[in-house]
Amino acid sequence: MNIENIEAFVYVNHYGSFNKAAEVLFLSQPSVTARIQTLERELDCRLFDRLGKQIMLTEKGKQFLPYAQQILQTIQKGRLHLQEKGARPQELRIGSTVSVSNYLIPDLLPRLHRLFPRLTFKLTTAPSDDLVKKLLDREIDLAFVRKLVHPSLQSFSYYEDPIRLYVYEGHPFAEEGRVSIDVIRDQPLVFFECGSLDWLRLHRVFEHLEQPPHIVFHADNSETAKKLVLQKAGICFLPGLCAKEEVSKGRLIPIEIEETKGISLQTNLVALTGENEEFIQALLPKNNLSFYSI
């Protein structure tokens, strides 16, 4: 039984698409289809059903999936075992999203260096999808990305960053500390959006308003959005990390809104399955609480 056929099966199931699986595997769509068909002949059963444009596992496919995943993980671990040289790498290559690079990494790297003083560290900043590709291509060793699931990666929850409304010093909301979402519509709003699914929850809250919010500025960068608030150009929903320093100095004030409570950005630590376990364990908060308290 060809391992590449099993890999194609796992990827098609994960992405729900032959085209997407082909893109990730750097194959043509017909090649992926051929691999699935060959596997089905070997197993003497159909693995996928097509319902319009949707692809779903058959009952036989569901039964085979955990075995296929285990096969790939076992091969990956075996390959790593053969490649081990018994020594740590001299350089740890870490990828991170822009927000993590700006607000977590400056505190994280010195602490990591104290744990592994003989290592040098190389940082790559990119969107989550690009970082996943770099991991798969072995261009980086670890990455801090938005919450995701991928068949070739191990993923751990690392940091949850609450999204709150922030106003500038002297704003009428500053003394109240808590307001209703309805009063937002009368305020000039700076809207920062990072593309995460969590921001869709914020959009849904706005959709329930009788009148839409008065969005004056759209920003795709948290620093730009924050500085517009500091310039008193408007108020803004921001992740807590990016406003931490200004809040401590009293220049920005978080405002509680019941309707947006619980909305947050989830950062995960990811790596290829079975790789860099020592660094992962050192970074995980449950194993090093003082390291995590950023």
Same domain, 32 and 108: no
Same domain, 182 and 41: no
Domain with 68 in it: what CATH number?
1.10.10.10
pTM of structure: 0.65
Same domain, 274 and 128: yes
Same domain, 225 and 274: no
The answer to whether 230 and 291 have CB atoms below 8 angstroms apart is no
Neighbour count for residue 42 (Cβ, 10 Å): 12
What is the number of structural domains in the chain? Answer: 3
Same domain, 75 and 21: yes
pLDDT digits (tens, 9 = 90+) for 177-219: 899 888 888 899 998 876 555 556 777 777 777 777 888 998 8
The answer to whether 97 and 125 have CB atoms below 8 angstroms apart is yes
Q: What single-letter DSSP state applies at residue 176?
A: T
The two tokens of residue 152 are 């070739």
Domain with 202 in it: what CATH number?
3.40.190.10
User: Of 34, 55, 83, which marks where a domain is finished?
Assistant: 83
Same domain, 95 and 165: no
pLDDT digits (tens, 9 = 90+) for 62-80: 999 999 988 887 877 776 6
Domain that holds residue 166: 160-264
Same domain, 149 and 272: yes
Give the bridge partners for 168, in sequence order: 252
The number of angstroms, rounded, from the C-alpha of 47 to the middle of its chain's C-alpha atoms is 30
